[in-house]
Structure 1
Amino acid sequence: MADNRAALAGDRLLAYAALAPSAFLLLLLAGVPTITVFVTAMQDVGMGDTDGPFIGFENFAWVFAEPAFYTALWNTFVWVFGSVALEMLLGLGLALLLNKSFAFRGAARAIVLAPYLVPTVVAVLTWRYMLHDIVGVVNAALMSIGITDQPLLWLNSQGLAMTSVIMVGVWKFFPFVVIAILGILQSIPQEQYEAAKIDGASDFQQFWRITLPYVMPVFLLTALLRTIWSFNKFEIIYLMTGGGPLDATTTLPILVYLKAFSDFEFGRAAAIAIVTLAILCVLLAIYFFFIKRAEARQ
């Protein structure tokens, strides 16, 4: 017994020693920038300054008193949950469809996954041209079939700008959801479906009782990843609208950029970034709660 415990302790020590370099590198790459940003948020730092006078939590007080922050926060939630919800629903539906056997399934999978392979900058600039109110093909198509009789201001209207960037974001990243869910669908034992059919289960009952419990942990994990990436997404919105019109698409990352590189208030920009990190941590905690519940039910 003592020999087994000693061997187990030795194995654990060896495992910790093997993981120590990677853990130290991860801590260095993630921890040092975070601490640096927090220190910057406690100072009055301007353009060209490496540090400034220590002002405590004044920048954080400014953040919570600034109306632009709450506008950006609301826009961020609309952008994140709007795009992630549509990506997850569309990805799940297409994954279920592509998991079935039909002619040219391989070609269909390639077409569905194609948007994810296009570089983001290329995709965004292409969509920006397509949504142009004068020369864009989207307006031309809508007017040709009679849906509208005048060009729509997709990127220059407060009512349509956020819808436009969400649409582009969904088009660009829903294939990631398809890949993740299609992988777990192909690992479900087919014997369970055959037994369910023998018992007279309908297609919906098979989905609810067999498919959904298998898919749910991966579904929630994919939603978690897409939430993190969308929350920090910058280039799609910035390249399409720059945060406009009239702050209609200004999200928290856009606001950080504008405060730092337009207003040259790096301390306040850092404070917004730290608050954004705190909000994201709360969202992660909620997601992990639901992931644990889904895994416990499996």
Structure 2
Amino acid sequence: MAEDSGPTVLPGDRTLAYLALMPSAAIMILLIAVPMITVFALSTQEIELGTMSGPFVGLRNFADVLTDPAFFTALYNSFVWVFGSVSIEMVLGLGLALLLHQKFALRGAARAIILLPYLVPTVVAVMVWHYMFNDIVGVLNYLLMATGIVDHPLLWLNSPGTAMLSVILVGVWKFFPFVVIAVLGILQAIPQEQYEAAMIDGANSWQRFWRITLPHILPIFLLTALLRTIWTFHKFDIIYLMTGGGPIDATTTLPVLVYNKGFVDFELGRAAAVAIVTFIVLGVLLAIYLMLMKRAEARQ
């Protein structure tokens, strides 16, 4: 008896499928290609705010950007912002997900409370944290001075030494629930029989985590880290609303620099050049990240 090789796909069916996908594909191409072509065109012109065309200058805007110390300051700040935020979010999110996966009283309420920061609008979160960081009436300075950790109020948002730490703390507080959601979802899909068999074999908690939990959650964990890296790299609102990129460019990241070039200095051509260079930098980082992720998955 011949084996069933599955449903036969007729040429007409394939053509119909392509025709059905063409409108969506065309819309996606327009949404991606048109803005990218427009930005690249802007980057090759000397354009001021209020105009959409100007003299062609070739790659001069890119040369100006790559020789501007402000660009390298923003690039460094972007790496600090992304690495600091994502690393803390991933570690904190993993730890809390493992904790919330355990059975204890009021576990449902605890899960709901953990997710609240992710639901708070960014503007509201920034307003609350602005008040908490206030050097006179802020609760953070009050607690630090009450416990004797510091003897004078800290200028959280007005000091170059603490401004970046402050915005990182706000970003972590706002977005670590996303990591908790992702990791907790895959933890609940791990068969409990594997843990029971490991316990019968005498495996301790660390061995069960290393041999069972980690291999199951690693692909989702790495994918979550990748998404958080992408989203954090081009995050604009938290930093701009908290510090405006200051003090003294201490928190000016590449997205903030694009805004400043375009809408503060009125140099749309250079702003577009910064945006394209930012895209290239992010693309290189993501290529390296994907390569490392594939190697990690291959070792499992």
Q: Is the 8 A contact 1:131 1:137 kept in 2?
A: yes
Code of the residue aligned with 2:29 in structure 1: it is L
Q: Secondary structure at the match of 1:54?
A: coil
Q: Is the 8 A contact 1:133 1:151 kept in 2?
A: yes
* Mapped pair 1:14 → 2:16: yes
Of 128-137 and 81-90, deviating more is: 128-137
Question: C-alpha offsets along residues 139-173 of structure 1, whole Å, 9 cap, x if unaligned?
Answer: 11211121111100100111100000000100000
Question: Structure 1 residues 5, 110: closer, same or farther in 2, change over 3 A?
Answer: closer
Which ranges of structure 1 fall in alignment gaps of 5 or more residues? none
Q: CA deviation at 1:134?
A: 1.3
Q: Distance in 1 between matches of 2:213 and 2:28?
A: 36
* Mapped pair 1:117 → 2:129: no
**Which position in structure 1 is the counterpart of 2:270?**
268
**Which position in structure 2 is the counterpart of 1:163?**
165
Q: Distance in 1 between matches of 2:20 and 2:193?
A: 41
1:289 to 284, 287, 291: 291
Q: Secondary structure at the match of 1:7?
A: coil
**Which position in structure 2 is the counterpart of 1:81?**
83
Q: CA deviation at 1:15?
A: 3.2
* Mapped pair 1:280 → 2:285: no
Q: Distance in 2 between matches of 1:6 and 1:183?
A: 36
Q: CA deviation at 1:297?
A: 4.4
Q: Is the 8 A contact 1:220 1:287 kept in 2?
A: no
Code of the residue aligned with 2:74 in structure 1: it is A
Q: CA deviation at 1:188?
A: 0.6
Q: Secondary structure at the match of 1:213?
A: helix
Q: Secondary structure at the match of 1:254?
A: helix
Code of the residue aligned with 1:143 in structure 2: it is M
Q: Is the 8 A contact 1:158 1:246 kept in 2?
A: yes
**Which position in structure 2 is the counterpart of 1:101?**
103
Question: C-alpha offsets along residues 51-98 of structure 1, whole Å, 9 cap, x if unaligned?
Answer: 111110000111111100000000000000110000000000000000
1:222 to 221, 224, 229: 224
Q: Distance in 2 between matches of 1:100 and 1:208?
A: 17
**Which position in structure 1 is the counterpart of 2:253?**
251
Question: Structure 1 residues 187, 6: closer, same or farther in 2, change over 3 A?
Answer: closer
**Which position in structure 1 is the counterpart of 2:63?**
61
Which ranges of structure 2 fall in alignment gaps of 5 or more residues? 1-5
Question: C-alpha offsets along residues 175-230 of structure 1, whole Å, 9 cap, x if unaligned?
Answer: 00000010000001111111111111111111111111111111111111111111
Q: Is the 8 A contact 1:213 1:297 kept in 2?
A: no
**Which position in structure 1 is the counterpart of 2:3?**
none
Identity over aligned pairs, percent = 69
Residue correspondence of structure 1 range 115-264 to structure 2 within 5 A: 115-264=117-266
Q: Distance in 2 between matches of 1:54 and 1:280?
A: 27
Code of the residue aligned with 1:57 in structure 2: it is L
